[in-house]
């Protein structure tokens, strides 16, 4: 199993490699999900790729943000440069960018970012169909869930084994975007979750998880068939990377990690210690923690200096075979080869007659095998030496140095991956007309007749059969919503959808790639939800090819950006309701020690954020509702609007529909979302 290290900047490459990483992942100066890390200039990226290749370490470029139409060309230019170096794989989030890269560079290896929110076998299978060779699974999966996916996965799987845990499922967090226009899906997260948000009787920081650490479980993951053990931390210092890599290396190679090394790792960075709660299936209050003053102070100069010892010298990890030929009257010849078939041949001086001590194979091996200061170690040595000859050790040492220098140079070279863009998706092709139709989404079956005119009503897939029949008898056009969080529920969801289909309902709302795959296998009509994060024309074109009937676009696009989208697939927006800011497997309300569990989160200003459970997860809803009831004429290029109801009662829902029909704005606090202010 590969140990995959983070590299936030050029100063982290050497510590990661010397500490024992098999691969590193890094970001270019744009389109990286860690935009505020140092990241890599083009020259630094080229140097890093060469340095790692020389030492048998792979390099993956993270191009893992959502990309808008006006950025597609520039994103492809970044990837074109990565192909020219070349890197070993591209890590991608945006499903539209995937399509463009596959066309431009079909031979480039693609890894699906954890930002794609994949946590089911069905999601993995869909991405395999899209050409991915590896999928980075969501961090919230348990041991048994990972194992179940690994048994049947058609591609490699990567699992986070150490580092920060976001409260939200990656790719499904809009908290930073909605509160401050800094999008986590675009690498600009401001981490508001680390501030005091709490439920009554909670921890006081009920959105702040401890860092995850599965370092003691690496051999178990390897036995499952996991291809890569990933360390989070491109925002952290080189000493953190070195300590984490060294701990993982020791765990994987020796089956244990020394307490001393683990103590150093915790001292360099932790949040009140570490957690393995998701992996062990023991979610709850114990998983939460903050970066305390004691945590910060523990990273002393003494600790950091001791960590420096982990990477002060080259790690000799590349085996070589050497052959030395010394014949009377001929120039000496040294051939050095690596395990990948590269061979270097250097010539040296003609040997002299030995006056006192003749040259022996043992003496030559002692000289030629001195590979200190290089990434090489001698696996085997052969010598053919005529008797009675002599040669200065300085000459042998010179031959060795020249051979190893040339071999290192050769190992740094690699043929570029071919790249060619024939055409980009045509955007700005939609008719500039406001939406004609409404759809409404409810979490219950108590729906007013006022909504009979809606072209579609989304309801939970957890209702009783009789409730569906009653709603259909009343004349509602129903579609069932597949939960965005399907952890451990995949088989139950498939079975329930099959039952619902027999009732005469063939429409589903799918906001996750795994949900799309399941619905497609049942030949149901699929409506894409905002959780798919469709942010550009290429993504809309993908949705059409994937068999979707229509789709909601990303809630992080502005109205102006939406109006310029292309593609033929009908698209919609969420125009009303409390937008889910987070999708989390850890319900904050479970942290409460109060006798009465309250489904409400509060910030330090006492703003209230409702909590709502559905499927395997909890949605943290915005403190104020979205409202575009008086802005319909400005929503150009949109085919339908979704009125999203969550905590509203039937009377309130009816009043909101009336506002939309009349074009009037609601009274009280509300937000326009990101449709006018946008995100970074």
- Asked if residues 168 and 582 have their Cβ atoms less than 8 Å apart, the reply is yes
Residue whose tokens read 């619905």: 519
Q: What is the mean pLDDT of residues 189-208?
A: 96
- Asked if residues 92 and 212 have their Cβ atoms less than 8 Å apart, the reply is no
Q: What is the mean pLDDT of residues 400-413?
A: 98
Model confidence at 435, in pLDDT bands (50, 70, 90)?
very high
Average pLDDT, the chain: 96
Q: For residue 567, how many other CB atoms are within 10 A of its CB?
A: 23
Model confidence at 342, in pLDDT bands (50, 70, 90)?
very high
- Report H helices in 590-649: none
3 state SS of 514: helix
Please list the residues that pair with 321 across neighbouring strands: 337, 380
Q: What is the mean pLDDT of residues 233-239?
A: 93
Percent of the chain having pLDDT more than 90?
96
Q: What is the mean pLDDT of residues 519-523?
A: 98
- Residue 149 scores a pLDDT above 90: yes
Percent of the chain having pLDDT more than 70?
100
Q: What is the mean pLDDT of residues 225-248?
A: 96
Dihedral angle over CA of 489, 495, 499, 504, nearest 10: 80
> How many degrees, rounded to 5, is the angle at CA 26 between CA 21 and CA 30?
180
pLDDT 10s digits, 606-621 = 999 999 999 999 999 9
Q: What is the mean pLDDT of residues 395-421?
A: 97
Backbone φ and ψ of 400, nearest 5°: -60, -45
What are the structural domains of the chain? 2-165+212-256 (3.20.20.70), 318-411 (no CATH), 437-578+625-662 (3.20.20.70)
**What are the structure tokens assigned to 348, written together?**
């040296």
- Asked if residues 402 and 346 have their Cβ atoms less than 8 Å apart, the reply is yes
State the number of CA atoms in the 13 A half-sphere of 76 facing the CB.
25
Peptide bond into 597 cis (omega under 30): no
C-alpha pair distances (Å), 374 with each of 23, 103, 213, 291, 399: 18, 40, 32, 39, 15
Q: What is the mean pLDDT of residues 142-155?
A: 98
426: CB partners within 8 A, 6+ apart: 537, 566
- Asked if residues 4 and 158 have their Cβ atoms less than 8 Å apart, the reply is yes
pLDDT 10s digits, 53-102 = 999 999 999 999 999 999 999 999 999 999 999 999 999 999 999 999 99
Model confidence at 324, in pLDDT bands (50, 70, 90)?
very high
Q: Tell me, what DSSP letter sits at residue 531?
A: G
Lowest-pLDDT range, 34-38, 278-282, 567-571, 624-628? 34-38
Which residue would you say has higher pLDDT here, 422 or 136?
136
pLDDT 10s digits, 466-493 = 999 999 999 999 999 999 999 999 999 9
pLDDT 10s digits, 548-575 = 999 999 999 999 999 999 999 999 999 9
- Residue 36 scores a pLDDT above 70: no
**What are the structure tokens assigned to 312, written together?**
């002060």
- Residue 37 scores a pLDDT above 80: no
- Residue 35 scores a pLDDT above 80: no
Q: How far is CA 496 from the centre of its chain?
A: 30
**What are the structure tokens assigned to 571, written together?**
């698209």
Q: Greatest CA span in the chain, whole angstroms?
A: 110
- Residue 368 scores a pLDDT above 90: yes
Rounded Cα gap, residues 38 and 164, in angstroms: 18
Residue-by-residue DSSP string for 296-340? HHTS-HHHHHHHHGGGSS----EEEEEEEEE-TTS--EEEEEETT
């Amino acid at each position: 199993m590969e140990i995959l290290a983070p590299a936030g900047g050029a100063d982290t490459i050497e510590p990661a490699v010397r500490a024992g990483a098999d691969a590193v992942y890094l970001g270019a100066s744009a389109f990286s999900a860690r935009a505020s890390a140092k990241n890599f200039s083009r020259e630094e990226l080229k140097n890093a790729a060469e340095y790692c290749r020389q030492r048998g370490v792979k390099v993956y470029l993270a191009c893992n943000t959502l990309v808008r139409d006006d950025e597609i060309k520039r994103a492809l230019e970044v990837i074109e440069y990565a192909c020219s170096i070349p890197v070993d794989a591209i890590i991608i989030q945006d499903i539209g960018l995937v399509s463009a890269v596959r066309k431009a560079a079909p031979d480039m290896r693609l890894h699906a970012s954890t930002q794609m929110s994949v946590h089911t076998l069905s999601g993995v299978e869909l991405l395999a169909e899209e050409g991915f060779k590896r999928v980075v699974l969501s961090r919230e999966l348990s041991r048994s869930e990972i194992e179940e996916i690994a048994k049947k996965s058609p591609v490699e799987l990567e699992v986070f084994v150490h580092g920060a845990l976001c409260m939200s499922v990656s790719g499904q967090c809009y908290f930073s975007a909605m509160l401050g226009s800094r999008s986590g899906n675009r690498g600009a997260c401001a981490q508001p979750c680390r501030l005091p948000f709490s439920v009554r009787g909670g921890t006081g920081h009920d959105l702040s998880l401890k860092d995850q650490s599965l370092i003691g479980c690496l051999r178990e993951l390897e036995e499952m068939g996991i291809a890569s053990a990933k360390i989070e931390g491109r925002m952290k210092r080189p000493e953190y990377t070195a300590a984490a890599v060294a701990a993982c290396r020791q765990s994987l190679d020796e089956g244990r990690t020394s307490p001393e090394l683990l103590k150093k790792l915790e001292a360099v960075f932790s949040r009140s210690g570490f957690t393995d709660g998701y992996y062990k299936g023991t979610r709850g209050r114990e998983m939460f923690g903050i970066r305390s003053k004691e945590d910060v102070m523990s990273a002393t100069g003494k600790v950091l200096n001791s960590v420096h010892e982990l990477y002060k010298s080259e790690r000799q990890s590349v085996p070589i075979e050497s052959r030395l030929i010394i014949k009377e009257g001929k120039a000496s010849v040294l051939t050095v080869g690596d395990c990948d078939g590269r061979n270097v041949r250097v010539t040296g001086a003609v040997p002299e007659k030995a006056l006192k001590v003749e040259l022996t194979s043992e003496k030559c091996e002692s000289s030629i095998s001195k590979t200190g200061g290089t990434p090489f170690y001698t696996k085997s040595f052969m010598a053919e030496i005529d008797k009675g000859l002599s040669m200065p050790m300085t000459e042998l040492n010179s031959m060795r140095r020249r051979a190893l220098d040339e071999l290192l140079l050769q190992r740094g070279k690699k043929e570029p991956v071919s790249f060619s863009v024939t055409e980009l998706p045509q955007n700005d092709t939609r008719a500039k007309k406001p939406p004609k139709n409404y759809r409404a989404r409810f979490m219950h079956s108590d729906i007013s007749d006022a909504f009979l005119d809606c072209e579609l009503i989304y309801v939970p897939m957890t209702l009783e059969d009789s409730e569906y029949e009653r709603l259909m008898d009343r004349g509602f056009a129903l579609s069932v919503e597949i939960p965005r969080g399907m952890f451990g529920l995949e088989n139950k969801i498939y079975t329930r959808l099959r039952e619902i289909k027999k009732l005469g309902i063939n429409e589903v709302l799918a906001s996750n790639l795994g949900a799309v795959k399941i619905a497609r296998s049942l030949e149901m009509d699929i409506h894409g939800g905002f959780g798919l994060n469709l942010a550009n024309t290429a993504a809309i074109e993908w949705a059409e090819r994937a068999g979707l009937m229509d789709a909601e676009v990303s809630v992080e696009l502005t109205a102006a950006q939406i109006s310029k989208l292309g593609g033929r697939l009908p698209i919609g927006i969420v125009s009303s309701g409390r937008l889910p800011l987070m999708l989390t497997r850890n319900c904050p309300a479970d942290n409460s020690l109060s006798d009465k569990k309250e489904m409400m989160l509060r910030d330090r200003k006492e703003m209230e954020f409702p909590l709502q459970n559905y499927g395997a997860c909890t949605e943290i809803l915005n403190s104020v509702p979205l409202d575009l009831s008086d802005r319909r004429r400005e929503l150009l290029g949109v085919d339908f609007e979704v009125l999203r109801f969550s905590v509203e009662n039937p009377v309130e829902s009816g009043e909101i529909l009336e506002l939309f029909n009349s074009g009037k704005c609601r009274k009280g606090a509300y937000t326009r979302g990101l449709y006018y202010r946008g995100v970074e």
